[in-house]
Chain A
């Protein structure tokens, strides 16, 4: 009953070939604190796309601190490969919004060297797949430097860009890097879902004195979410390391990040019709993982389903399951369930691609399994 249906119109895809709707309509539950007292749709809650959320966050942080600058491919004159940095070149000039040549290793290292000297670079990767060309600098010169120098050199840098699968972009443009970066000490790894997350976490990342890997999602850029006035304030930020309970429930805990939060919320709606009350946790922070919130939730519901888009082996879900088994074993009434992408490089054909990433039905099925409802198992691999 406390539901507002919002329809989402735009979804800008760079390749433009794939037309079928992957996301469909998503149901966004407004947090109770900001929900107006009447049932009518109140116009005091603004709607903002994730793209605009990121753009305004960048704008405000660059305006507040002249040491913040943005560098990457196409961030300037092209207005951003996905238009996230639209308008910033005109506002801040080419010294602060820097179009780089196609040299990930080189310009990432330059960003790190600048951060050593107290500047606050935001290095944009056109997708995180390209960060593999620069991963030496992210891990070895950024993440480890504060430790190797015993605190003399901190690296206040942000690496951001779209992560994970888009639509029809093929194997080399679709990998999720959350697990890779989250395994490395010295890094903070964040992944927003909504516009509120995008604004708050990006601001926190830019203000943070340590290297932060900020994993966005291309499909979510065009999604609109309601934002309260508090979120729109320029001092707004979200603490790093704290997960958010998007939807309360008592029967099963579903953890997810980025686009999978939307899927999990849809799954929760479907499960509710079957009498299963699912609690959906939006991780927001992959490293550090909010184990306290996850474990508290599992101790309440006694069942866990982890959802991620990336490859299953050694994934984020694996870490969450291990953590829950270690810390809340006596509270579990069912084996922990992991939903992840298929263990294959991402295929191109749309029907195969659909099979290679988790769908809402998969999450529903896993939750039912955890609740001892009989369901046939899908392809395990």
Chain B
């Protein structure tokens, strides 16, 4: 299949334009009048203007190919960074492979969506974030959780439905939450996470500007190609740009939404182009190469942290397995799968770091071994953990459990010590 023409569009300098006092919050510069028609062709001119009147500089770079010259266009990474990236991707891959095994052995159940092949996107973005930055994901969220720092044993126990899981077994595969690591979902409905992520970015800006706290936390929203046809996506592109929120919208375009090909579902399949009509820079990057993703991510995250607003990043990637473990995956062409397998992100990174003498073969093998042991240990931990006790059923429905109301004796039900021991009838 044809690769997209790769273009990087960045604003060349901060927005220069009249600042009109508006009823938009945060005194954001409103989208000024269109200086050209929105049909402007951003691709050809070297200096053009977005619909919001912001000058942009268009760079042409063929970031899709794997040619050596791309390596020199990328900033160098250190050995330490290389090992961190490698370890994170191998963790993601091994974990997901183990999930498949456990599912077929009946220890995992329900809907399980695996991330094999897309590791470069998760690692490329999330390893750049601080602990305070937020990640919002979809149902394909195991590896986002792992990259953000949620321990593998907590994720595995959650998948097994045990009380030691990161959500005490109450969330499951599709609903990973970790307050400590600022991973706020885990959403089953596509597009649902995008407004929530926009709200998290909103809260970051609110804290800085209204509560006067020292807050420059950034939010990354991950979602797929299918979501880019959903109304909420466009609503949030509009509001994030309108209010200049510190968010990066990352599209993991793996070309398939269950069995629906992206090209059958989308009138204009180039998703990165949907940013500029809202005044958001759109970037397309090869999502099978973690170093390229990382370079783009650095720019986008820095942009958000500076207060310059959102970026839309489309990562061309691929999932090696089906949509979920229940998906027979009959509609995808084996040639397509083979082509993307040859661009396996872990193999690509391994080749790069060995060729550039950043790490040795033995160091990589040591990491492989370490991760194997880690994942094994996670499975053992999950296996030996207890299932949630009966009393957990009624816990955490409310932060204030007086929401269960007043019982026949006139006291709040939750004040009865035996409340959670009873049946679910309240």
Contacts and interface: CB of A to CB of B under 8 A. Distances in A.
Contacts of A240: 402-403
A177 interface: no
B192 A109 contact: yes
Given A95-B25, A241-B412, A292-B407, A115 B235 contact: no
B395 A103 contact: no
Given A109-B194, A147-B397, 13 more contacts: A94-B25, A95-B209, A112-B196, A113-B199, A117-B134, A140-B189, A146-B397, A146-B399, A148-B170, A148-B186, A150-B177, A152-B177, A154-B399
Contacts of A154: 399
Interface residues of A, number: 65
Given A66-B211, A148-B186, A149-B177, A119 B171 contact: no
A242 B409 CA distance: 13
A188 B209 CA distance: 31
Contacts of B170: 147-150
B203 A210 contact: no
B211 A67 contact: yes
A142 B92 CA distance: 29
B195 A119 contact: no
B210 A95 contact: yes
Contact of B25 (A98, A137, A147, A185): A98
A77 interface: yes
A103 B398 contact: no
A106 B192 CA distance: 9
Contacts of A289: 405
Nearest to B134: A117
Interface string B400-419: 10111111111010000000
B387 interface: no
B399 A136 contact: no
B214 interface: no
A148 B177 contact: yes
B195 A114 contact: no
A66 B192 CA distance: 27
A234 interface: no
A288 interface: yes
Interface residues of B, number: 64
A107 B239 contact: yes
B23 A241 contact: no
Nearest to A207: B400
A112 B168 contact: no
Interface in B367-393: none
B232 A105 contact: yes
Interface in B56-84: none
B202 A76 contact: no
List 8 A-B pairs, minimum CB-CB distance, nearest first. Answer: A113-B199, A109-B195, A288-B405, A106-B235, A149-B177, A154-B399, A150-B168, A209-B399
Contact of B202 (A108, A110, A152, A209): A110
B399 A151 contact: yes
A211 to B, nearest CB: 9
Contacts of B3: none
A153 B273 CA distance: 35
